Amino acid sequence: MFIIFLPIFVELILILVGMFLITLGTWELRLGENRRLFITFILSGVFFIVLSQKFLEIMGILTVFS
């Protein structure tokens, strides 16, 4: 039963991590102390969000062919 929802949980976790990193990057920009850390957080957050969407796309393709 849990295995059926595992891809959904993985995608949700990836999106939440990405949103958290983007929020940290925005907070770092607001403080204005370290621009390099801002860029690192923002790019990492975007990477996780894109990764979650690609993961969802791959899981959709696998379910079509199964």
d(CA 27, CA 45): 13
Which region, left, alpha or beta, applies to residue 11 given φ > 0 means left and ψ of -120 to 50 means alpha? alpha
Is the pLDDT score of 31 beyond 90?
A: no
Nearest alpha-carbon partner for 8 in 64, 63, 65: 63
pTM over 0.85: no
Give the pLDDT band (50/70/90) at residue 39: very high
Residue 40: predicted pLDDT: 95
Q: Please name the residues in contact with 54: beta carbons below 8 A apart, sequence gap of 6 or more.
A: none
